[in-house]
Copies of this chain bind each other. A is one copy, B any other.
Amino acid sequence: MTEVPGKAAGDTRSRILDAAERLFMENGFDGTSMRMITSQAGVNLAAVNYHFGTKELLIQEVFRRRLTDLNRARLAALEALELEAAGASLKPSRIVDAFFGTALRMAADVEGGGHTFMCLLGRTYTEPNEFVRQFLAEEYAECVERFLAALYRALPEVDRKEILWRFHFMMGAMSYAIAGTDALQLVTGKFDDENPSQLAPRLMSFLLGGLRAPLAEFGGLK
């Protein structure tokens, strides 16, 4: 569990964040103790409370650190699209790429920890912890709203509720593709040594196929 490589890299604060990010991803929030974090980071036990206050605030900071950048990058990509189109309607595939492609590019960064974080984020989507949910929702609100609005504009003939559902499904496919430990991997042998460069184009074409699929018909209630 202990891994103290000379204490060379970074200050105490970011050492704690890096260690926490990885351990939360591997063991969940409740499965990761303060002592695991501080020994992995090579710092004193009290350092977490000193720098972050409580464990919950540490969790919050682990997300905030990366999520702010991710959603900023997504919005920048969307604005670039809108600027390029100069008033014309956007292709849905470009919008999807601005949102999901940006996340996949972050997940492809294994070295800098982007991959670890995206795995953590993926598993957190299914963690109904009220405290984390609330925080994630606030952090995502503006970004999701803007992208949904863009999709509504790009697909004016499609019922907005259907677009919402499909966005939901796309989120799921992506999260699981990144974070899913997956029964399959253990049955069939690992795919490609977690090489994310293989994942991105395959997932994008799947997502677009789902987005463009003919709408379902309902026998039942409206």
Contact = CB atoms under 8 A, between A and B. Distances in A.
Oligomer: number of copies: 2
A65 interface: no
A176 interface: yes
B184 A171 contact: yes
A155 to B, nearest CB: 14
A179 B203 CA distance: 20
| A126, A177, A183 pick with most chain B CB within 10 angstroms | A126
A213 B217 contact: no
A20 to B, nearest CB: 15
A144 interface: yes
Given A202-B165, A203-B169, A26 B181 contact: no
Contacts of A215: 205
Contacts of A162: 202
A207 B127 CA distance: 24
A81 interface: no
A172 interface: yes
Interface of A: 25-31, 122-123, 125-129, 133-134, 136-137, 140-141, 144-145, 148, 161-162, 164-177, 179-184, 186-188, 191, 197-198, 201-218, 220-221
Closest 3 interchain pairs by CB? A209-B213, A172-B176, A137-B186
